[in-house]
Amino acid sequence: MNRIFSGMQPTGNLHLGNYLGALRNWVKLQHEFETIFCIVDLHAITLPQDPAELRRATREVAAAYIAAGIDPAKSLIFNQSTVHMHAELAWILGCFAPLGWLNRMTQFKEKAGKDRENASLGLYAYPVLMAADILGYKATHVPVGEDQKQHLELARDIAGAFNRRYEMEYFPLPEPQIFGAATRVMSLRDGTKKMSKSDASDMSRINLTDDADAIANKIKKAKTDPHPLPDSEDGLAGRPEADNLLGIYAALSDMTMHNAIAENAGKQFSAFKRDLVDRAVAVLAPITQRMRELTSDPTEIDGILARGAEKADAMSAPLLAEVKRIVGFLRP
| Alpha-carbon gap, residue 295 to 289, rounded angstroms | 10
Residue 111: active-site member: yes
Decide if residue 40 touches ligand TRP (CB under 6 A). yes
Which window, 25-33, 130-138, 256-264, 312-320, contacts ligand TRP (CB under 6 A)? 130-138
Q: Site map for ligand TRP, 1-30, x if CB under 6 A?
A: ----xxx-x---------------------
Task: Write the interaction track for ligand TRP spanning residues 138-157; mark x where CB under 6 A is met and - where it is not.
Answer: ----x-x---x---------
Please state, in angstroms and rounded to a whole number, the distance separating the CA atoms of residues 94 and 266: 56
| C-beta of 194 vs 267, nearer to ligand TRP | 194
* Torsion 110-111-115-121 (CA) sign: negative
End-to-end Cα separation, the chain, in angstroms: 34
From the list 127-135, 162-170, 231-239, 266-274, the region that binds ligand TRP by CB under 6 A is 127-135
Q: Which is nearer to ligand TRP, 133 or 243 (CB)?
A: 133
CA dist 22 to 6, 69, 235, 324, Å? 10, 12, 28, 34
**Count of residues binding ligand TRP (CB under 6 A)?**
12
Residue 151 or 218 with smaller CB distance to ligand TRP:
151
Q: Of the listed pieces 45-53, 59-67, 128-136, 262-270, which binds ligand TRP according to CB under 6 A?
A: 128-136
Whether 267 sits among the annotated catalytic residues: the reply is: no
Q: Which of 138, 194, 223, 324 is catalytic?
A: 194
SS (H, E, C) 118-178: HCCHHHHHHHHHHHHHHHCCCCCEEECCHHHHHHHHHHHHHHHHHHHHCCCCCCCCCEEEC
In the range 81-100, which residues lie near ligand TRP by CB under 6 A?
none
Taking residue 105's Cβ as centre, other Cβ atoms within 10 Å add up to: 20
Closest CB to ligand TRP among residues 61, 246: 61
Q: Which is nearer to ligand TRP, 26 or 272 (CB)?
A: 26
Per the annotation, the verdict on 194 as an active-site residue is yes
Enzyme catalytic residues:
111, 194, 197
Q: Which residues bind ligand TRP (CB under 6 A)?
A: 5-7, 9, 40, 43, 130, 133-134, 142, 144, 148
